[in-house]
A and B are shown apart, each in its own frame.
Chain A
Amino acid sequence: MSEMMYREALNRALFEEMRREPTVFIMGENIGQRGGSYKVTEGLIKEFGPERVLDTPLAEATFTGAAVGAALAGTRPIVEILFVDFTTLPMDQIVNQAAKYAFMSGGQGRVPMVLRTQGGAGNGLAAQHSQSLEALFYHIPGLKVVMPSSPYDAYGLMVSAIRDDDPTIFIEHKLLYMTKGEVPQEPFVVPLGKADIKKEGTDVTLITYSYMTLKCLEAAALLEKEGISVEVLDLRTLKPLDEEAILQSARKTGKVIVVHEACKRGGIGGDIAAMIMEEAYDDLDGPVLRVCGKDTPIPYNLELEKVCIPNVEDIVEAVLKIT
């Protein structure tokens, strides 16, 4: 085991997969010479050259479409969209092309591409660089959606996403890049569609993903001191959704809160809550709660930004309400 940062774990996965498979290549804005705004692609161009590490023009619709075409022509492209906010530019290529090709062609045309991007608030980047848009992709049949919270998961899920034969939307979080965690030195994979219990507990389940996993773990530690045993289930992959792990934990504790940074209205929490109630209603002690972002664009001012996103106190308060 060695300790590394989230961004280093992603970087390692890219290096290893590009060494393993010559048809893997990556393109995006400023990912080559500059190594990416968050250094995830640092050093790749030196080893793999500009033919496999491409600094693209600022044309998201076209280079995302190019990834679809390159995938159809037998390669495994990775594209980086600098902010998830910018994925609205290539939405046709994501929703109507990448997600649909395998289906529309009766399985003839597979699109094994990974769209890497990052989202979330917390850096004072305001309304167009701080969103959590995973629900847009979650809603589209044909896409897989991955949102890791730890360096271990980031590495293992990136390897799986690259090897998968379908398009994967891989959403990183800007506040996670510098976080550290243990990652084994030997190569490994984390399969898509498997949630992970980040902390076991018996009184209440917090279902979460991405950066909010860290907040849930903090809340759980505080609650533990109060004698409340909290289970933290990190979904890791939103699609495929690990329904089994969700239901198992819900049945165990009987109390469930879904926590995510994205705004509550139309968010993934509502879907998960409904699924739990459909499948495990009799095992619940009460309604599934949601602790989510406010239904507002993200403001620039620090104090205003803070109140838009769930914090540890919000999570603790919600737990205390039902335990």
Chain B
Amino acid sequence: MSKKSPSEKAAKRKAGVSEVPEDRLLQMYHYAYATRQFELKCMDLYRQGFIRGYLHPYLGEEAIAAGACTAIRPDDYIVSTHRGHGHCISKGGDLKGMVAEIMGRATGYCKGRGGSMHIFSKDTNNLGANGIVGAGIPIATGAAMGIKVKRGDQVVIVFFSDGAANNGVFGESLNFAAAFNLPVIFMLENNHYAVSTPVECSFGNCDLACKGTAYGVPGICIDGNDAVEVYMATSRAADRARNGEGPTLIEAKTYRHGGHHVNDPGLYMDQAVLAQWKARDPLDILRKKIASPKKVKTIEERVDRELEEAIEFARNSPQPSVDEFLAGIPNY
């Protein structure tokens, strides 16, 4: 935990709600709520035996993906993580393709070959989740370089965790992006745990935003549970990137609402701190900023319906054909 509690920080924050148009607020809420429900449903499906392998819920962190992805354009890119459902949904990913992929079905985004940790959606320029912590950071940096080579004006957001920030490619990529002035936003989701190891035990300096400075990348620290704050910070960073002013590091402080994955009860987490963070639920914070409860309800009903349909679709979808799979293996 940082010395400053997120609520104190939020109180100090002056960013006015009125700066964000209502349609953006509603869109963010749509994504955040969809992510919350998606994770809860997937955990149920996991426990019922419909999902195998690893499932890393994004519960408690929804505001980061919702705020960040709402602040960029559909043709901008994102690079995601093993805890990536929220990123995929917030970039506009198709719930049917997602549930089907997590259930390993032929109709999934990756034809059942990737699963939860590898969802990739070309249709929304989501360059994929990744099973290797930190590996997406140089990939995103390179996507930004690709944009430059093609003389495009898109930006790239790469989501990664505090755990990934201890991997060598984090520092290398910050330097690389600064050296080549690349349009990439490093979105460090500080959820305070690398699996079970707390930030205080794995960093000599727990101020993670400041790690950009040494590389020439401006770093800011924000409340990751406040989607509006994430949206504002990302908008500014995206403007900078689009104007050729280079990369930004954003440390968004947040907290997992549970263990590392669906089967991890997270007993190592300090329950009092967890309760404190849960009291600042990102969905509640965002909901309070929306004037019309009716519109919130409409969104929730729509998402609930779409999610039910997606689960139904996935459950009725065929398993991938083994013959087709084997026939597709090249004889190298």
**A interface residues, Cβ below 8 angstroms from B:** 22-23, 25, 51-52, 54, 56-57, 59, 61-75, 77, 92-93, 96-97, 101, 103-109, 141, 144, 193, 239-241, 243
Residues of A contacting B140 in the complex (Cβ-Cβ under 8 angstroms):
69
CB distance from B118 to the nearest CB of A (A): 4
Pick the contact of A106: B109, B137, B156, B175 (CB < 8 A): B109
Whether A105 lies near B135 (C-beta < 8 A) is: no
Q: Which of B118, B156, B176 contacts A57 (CB 8 A)?
A: B176
Q: Please state if B77 and A73 are interface contacts (CB–CB under 8 Å).
A: yes
Query: Which of A56, A63, A105 sits near B120, CB closer than 8 Å?
Result: A105
CB-based contact A77/B118 at 8 Å:
no
Q: Which residues of B contact A (CB under 8 A)?
A: 77, 79, 108-114, 118, 120-122, 127-128, 130-132, 135, 137-150, 156, 168-169, 172-173, 175-176, 179-180, 329-332
| Complex Cα gap A189–B120 (Å) | 33
Q: Is the CB of A104 within 8 A of B172?
A: no
Asked if B120 contacts A104 (CB within 8 A), the reply is: yes
- Known A96-B132, A105-B120: A65·B137 in contact at CB below 8 Å: yes
- When distances are taken between beta carbons in the complex, the residues of chain B under 8 Å from A239 are 332
- State the Cβ distance, A186 to closest chain B Cβ, in Å: 28
Partner of A97, one of B135, B141, B143: B135
Could you tell me if A63 and B146 are in contact, using CB atoms closer than 8 angstroms? Answer: no
How far, in angstroms, from A104 to B111 measured CA to CA in the complex?
A: 9
Is the Cβ of A59 less than 8 Å from the Cβ of B142?
no
Tell me which of B131, B139, B179 contacts A68 (CB under 8 A).
B139
Asked whether, in the complex, the Cβ of A240 is within 8 Å of the Cβ of B138, the reply is no
B114–A106 contact, CB under 8 A? yes
The residue that B173 contacts in the complex, of A25, A62, A92, with Cβ under 8 A, is A62
CB-based nearest A residue for B182: A66
- The answer to whether B142 and A65 touch across the interface, beta carbons within 8 angstroms, is yes
Q: CB < 8 Å: which of A25, A92, A97, A141 contacts B149?
A: A25
Please name 10 pairs of A and B residues whose Cβ atoms are closer than 8 Å in the assembled complex, sorted by A. A66-B138, A67-B142, A69-B139, A69-B156, A70-B146, A72-B143, A104-B120, A108-B110, A240-B330, A240-B332
Contact between B122 and A109 (Cβ–Cβ < 8 Å)? yes
B149 touching A75, Cβ below 8 Å? yes
**Contact call A74/B146, Cβ cutoff below 8 A:** yes
